[in-house]
Structure 1
């Protein structure tokens, strides 16, 4: 069996550490929100998924550059297909329908977001990572405050009226 050449351990550099480290930290921070709210997929799940997606992306890009030869039909963007299938299985396992009510849909979407942010970290797309992380925090924390403060009053007014 023919394998690609090994990558020496001394090739671990700051770029790889920054991409993987950022993905791990952001994944943990995304999971913190779910953990504090008592949802099933918390710190470890989000951290592992975001970090794994970054590792898959870095590996895919590195292998593409290492093995690419004239006329090859390699497509490093297939990482999205693999990550999508993987996360879809995990997310589908989280979603529960009980008595006509859907549970854990936001957690499943949150896991998808952690995956996409991990892929962006692995690809070194720092503006995208920054915007995605900020939007995630605003949507998960800011909107929760808005829902509790204003939408709950609206629902109470509708029930009384």
Structure 2
């Protein structure tokens, strides 16, 4: 029975209550960023931002925990937690790029892509224990999405599409 308990609760460098707090914090901060996207009915909303932030947090916790694993305490094995930052950045950038589309000559989804990328950074921050950095980033993001979003031109009555352009798009021959 001790072996089973040890399997599910291995020795940890980060105390388990701190791990739980970081995961809950990442979910909450991802929700704050995703709330505005959800309110505007964007493709990547509340759940997506929460999951991206949670995943990034989990990756960073695992990378910190892996540094002290018994099997990795050898001169031939080098654990670099910063590689996790690079991997999360690349992975979330790929996901965020999928939200950006070109439709009828206009680009849509850039803000959602950027907010997903930020959710990954916030998750990494919380996972590494940098709560202040994550909190400031979430506050700034919410301010940008909500306050600056109020300054953007309102969509036309024909749905979520922006108001039509005053000048027609040029064809390939006219360029």
Range class of TM-score, shorter chain: 0.7 to 0.9
Q: In the alignment, which of 114, 131, 136 is matched to residue 136 of structure 2?
A: 131
CA deviation map 1:59-106 (0-9, x unaligned): 111011224525242211111121122112211211101222110011
TM-score between both structures, scaled by the size of structure 1: 0.82
Q: CA deviation at 1:148?
A: 5.2
Matches within 5 A, 1:24-43: 24-43=27-46
Structure 2: any 5+ residue segments left out of the alignment?
Answer: 1-5, 155-165, 167-175
3-state SS in 1 of match to 2:152 = helix
For residue 69 of structure 1, the aligned residue among 51, 62, 73 is: 73
**Distance (Å, rounded) in 1 between the aligned partners of 2:123 and 2:81:** 15
Query: Would you say 1:48 and 2:48 are equivalent positions?
Result: no
Question: Which is richer in helix?
Answer: 1
2:84 & 2:51 partners in 1: Cα distance? Answer: 17
Deviation of the 1:18 alpha carbon = 0.9
Gaps of 5+ in 1: 150-158
TM-score (norm 2): 0.75
Q: Among 103, 106, 109, which residue is 1:101 paired with?
A: 106
Larger radius of gyration: 2
Instruction: State whether residues 57 and 126 of structure 2, in contact with CA within 8 Å, keep that contact through their aligned partners in structure 1.
Output: yes
| Number of residue pairs aligned between Structure 1 and Structure 2 | 146
CA distance in structure 1 between the partners assigned to 2:83 and 2:7 by the alignment: 22
